[in-house]
Structure 1
Amino acid sequence: MFTGIIEAIGTIKAININAQGARLVIATNILDMSDVNLGDSIATNGICLTVVEYDQHSYSADVSNETLERTGFAHYSVGMQVNLEKAMLASTRFGGHMVSGHVDGVCNVLSITNNGNSIEYWLSMPSDLAHYIAEKGSITVDGTSLTVNALSADNTKFRLTIVPHTVKETIFAHYQVGTKVNLEVDLIARYLERLLTKEKSAHPVEPSSNVTASMLQKAGFIK
């Protein structure tokens, strides 16, 4: 689990393609690797990757063909910069929102416009994800926790307003019109939809619990 608060900007050192997908080597730059162990998770442009090798200045991770197909990794190249965040600790300050590191889709940067000291980005809205994206709701773009500031009238694009600090601490400064970015919609919205639309089992199973409302009332849990 992650918070969407980027800790460092890394650089892709190597991409080694194989039959199973690819192995990436990421230079971590200022990311503190002192508490990283094999098997730990590091969100790389919003994608939860498992560390298979590491040293003080870099780590390696395997990327499956599934991940290559469903994320922007297929368009990445050596030398490209990526957002990095280590998995959160129980003691971590929750500055962003709940981010799983499971990318839902890829979209394009449509326009970039200065607005005072901030920058406005309009991004395309994948049709299968549009119902998850709400004005003033949370969204993750390349691993960065952000707020959706506006939706287009035809529901095909959304706007982000990025403040100078975020531009400095993430790869937003490198975005251009046409740049492909990874999207993760709000985790709560995704599970809420599942709860509201789940199909009933063809063979319902009777509850096995012996707990009843009267028992809970006697125990003081309900009135």
Structure 2
Amino acid sequence: MAISSMAIKSLFTGIVEEMGEIRHLGFDESGQSFDMIIHSPTVLQDVNLGDSIAVNGTCLTVTEFDSQRSEFKVGLAPETLRKTSLIELEKGSVVNLERAVKPSTRMGGHFVQGHVDGTGEIVSMEPEGDSLWIKVKTSPEILKFIVPKGFIAVDGTSLTVVNVFDEEECFNFMLVEYTQQKVVIPLKKTGQKVNLEVDILGKYVERLLSSGFVDSIKSR
């Protein structure tokens, strides 16, 4: 059974380190490379060329950086623009940032690859006390991996699903006051998109079932 196509190259926790500001988003002078330049003092503290940084949950590679200006550049491939919500950003937008984990990193969220599975649309944002309930609609292909009390990364933020509404093709989650101040999700409006990455464990389970691995075990 081959699952090499799901090999993990970089790993994140879904705990946002910093909200960075986009200084540039678009094609370079050649018109061939679509780049993003982000202002971000914290994640640049130990950056190197080729490092992986999750930008709104999308694993991107640092191609240039300027420590004095606290800026780094990443390139966006056409497939990345098609699959994520990054194309909707503009100069001045803020984004969630997280550096790839090191072996010594404390695991505070869940295993996040930075491989966005698709996008969802915010359909409601309702406060309850100092907390905020958010409901997101997504495709059936993604929703099948989302379960109540399970993990999901929304714009790179590790969150716990509260409920799944299959008929509406929606799920919801709640942000406490502290989290609202540290991530970009509350800054968005109803109708805007968010990047989604489902729990990798669900994808491995589906792969095992579809390959007939479980049936082969039973037949032994």
TM beyond 0.5: yes
2:38 is matched with 26
Pick from 44, 48, 63: which aligns with 2:55?
Answer: 44
Aligned 1:62-211 pairs, distance under 5 A: 62-152=75-165, 154=167, 156-198=169-211
Q: How far apart are 1:155 and its partner, in Å?
A: 5.0
**Superposed structure 1 runs of 4+ greater than 4 Å apart:** 18-21
**Overall identity of the aligned pairs, in %:** 40
1:3 is matched with 13
1:55 is matched with 66
SS in 1 for 2:22: strand
TM normalised by structure 1 equals 0.85
Report the aligned-residue RMSD. Answer: 1.5
Unaligned runs of 5+ in 1: 201-223
Unaligned runs of 5+ in 2: 1-10, 214-220
Which entry has the higher C-alpha Rg, 1 or 2?
1
Q: How far apart are 1:153 and its partner, in Å?
A: 5.0
> What is the rounded CA distance, in whole Å, between the counterparts of 2:192 and 2:74 in structure 1?
23
> What is the rounded CA distance, in whole Å, between the counterparts of 1:193 and 1:153 in structure 2?
19
> What is the rounded CA distance, in whole Å, between the counterparts of 2:55 and 2:36 in structure 1?
10
2:217 is matched with none
Q: Deviations over 1:145-186 (max 9, x none)?
A: 000001125151111110011110111231111111000000
Asked if the contact 2:43–2:99 (Cα under 8 Å) also holds between the matched residues in 1, the reply is no
1:12 is matched with 22
1:209 is matched with none
Give, as a single letter, the amino acid of the residue that structure 1 aligns with 2:27.
Answer: I
